[in-house]
Amino acid sequence: MEPTAPTETLEAATRALEREQRELSRERRALERFAKRVAAFETAVPRVSNSARRIGDETPPGLTSVRKAYAETVMSVPHYTKRYDDTWLESVAEEFSDELAAALAHHEVLSLQLKRSLLAATRQSVANRTQLLSSIETECESVAAAERTCSALLEELTALRNQPLERLEFNALWLTRERLEGLRERCDELADERQREIRRERRFSLAEVGSLEQYLYQECERTYPILAAIATLGAAIARVLETVDRSLEAVVIDDTGRCSGDVRRRESDANPVVP
């Protein structure tokens, strides 16, 4: 297998991040528009509806102005149906709280307290997305840096692998092996750095799906694409190392026919002993 998978994994991660940035930015702007419209609504003395409503009812409950504003802003983003596809009260319950959704379902006028609660919840949703977008921006930088590093390592690996290994002399083979070991050590360092970065990440409250990676890459093949790319690259390095080791074991060191029996150390600086 050609060692191209590392960069492909990171390219897929980049596409997922860009899509999430685009959708979250649209949602944040929609929530901001919704807040402006709610802020302009007049309030009235609360009047409880005689007919109880359930979240998910198809018939629109009271507070028509709020429902209309929500539908024309939050629920009007291009990806809404594909990503959520729920009713407005289900959306309010998920976005804000079950309590707020119940209040909107059971009241026919917008009280001052309900308006304040709705505005506070909307502003919190905007803040959540702002925080998440900041985290995604940091993740984009990490993925881009990993892609640059993996591409450079892959380029060097490809150059080493494309040598006529079966025809190289001992010294050239040993130098190739040392360079491969250097690549493998660099992969180990990158993996350690990424693990530390993941441990420093905070959990977020926008969706109950666990870690940031689980949220961002839930539709990708790999949940931890940077670690997956590094592991794939490491496996490719290991395969080339095996090929070099086999060539080292078979190479003739001197004219007497003596072969290298230990590829893990130099033998007298790789110079043959002249009898």
| Euclidean distance between CA atoms 164 and 138, whole angstroms | 42
Alpha-carbon distance of 270 to 254, in angstroms, equals: 10
Q: What does pLDDT average to over the chain?
A: 84
DSSP-assigned letter for residue 148? H
pLDDT above 70 as % of the chain? 80
Q: What are phi and psi of 259, to 5 degrees?
A: -110, 160
pLDDT for res 158? 95
Q: What is the C-alpha separation between 177 and 154, in angstroms, rounded?
A: 15
Chain centroid to CA 264:
39
Provide the residue type at 93 as one letter. Answer: A
Q: Please report the pLDDT score of residue 59 as a whole number.
A: 36
C-alpha 16/C-alpha 134 separation (Å) is 15
Q: From residue 141, how far is each of 65, 144, 200 by CA, in Å? A: 42, 5, 16
pLDDT tens figures, 69-113: 999 999 999 999 999 999 999 999 999 999 999 999 888 888 999
Q: Which residues of 208-231 are buried (b: 16+ CB within 10 A; e: fewer)?
A: eeeebbebbbeebebebbbbbbbb
Taking alpha carbons only, the member of 3, 6, 4, 22 closest to residue 143 is 6
d(Cα 167, Cα 147) in Å, to the nearest integer?
A: 33
How large a percentage of the chain has pLDDT more than 90? 65
pLDDT recorded at residue 214 = 87
